[in-house]
Amino acid sequence: DYFHGYDDLMKRRVVFVGDARKRIQEDYLRILRYFRFYGRIAEVPDNHDTDTLAAIKENGAGLAQISGERIWMELSLILAGNFWGSLVENIIKCGLGPHIGMPKEPDVESFIGLYNSGKNIELNSVSRMTPLFRSEDE
């Protein structure tokens, strides 16, 4: 194991192989894949690697180059996984929202309210995203 991936898995850590900035710039969709894999592997909702989040913040605008269909595919998988509320909140904190079709100022309070009250309710991905939007225009 040249990159110590096994050790990261045992620690339930999600990091990029090598330089995160380079990996992201090779394919900006890796940003959303990071959050999806985090939801699958991590044991707690908010124990992200700070260097990884810094690389994501620096390169988030690159997501604007990715088709809406590919973004929605990853986002819907994030919304169907573990820690979906915390992950979307982190996506917003990283400044990714406007690059992936979210409003510039999403209603995070309503979204977290749904997450906290609906954790055990089966909701589809669209229903989980809806509270972020304040109007039909958004």
Phi-psi region of 58 (alpha: psi -120 to 50; beta: other; left: phi over 0): alpha
Closest listed residue to residue 70, CA positions, set 130, 29, 126: 29
Q: Where are the alpha helices (DSSP H) in 1-138?
A: 5-10, 20-26, 30-41, 50-59, 68-79, 84-93, 108-117, 125-129
Q: pLDDT by residue (tens digit) across 4-47? A: 677 766 677 888 888 999 999 999 999 999 999 999 999 999 99
All structural domains of the chain, each given as residue ranges with its CATH number in brackets, are 5-132 (1.10.3090.10)
Give the model confidence (pLDDT) of 61-97 as tens digits: 999 999 999 999 999 999 999 999 999 999 999 999 9
Residue 53 pLDDT greater than 60, yes or no: yes
Contact 129, 79 (CB under 8 A): yes
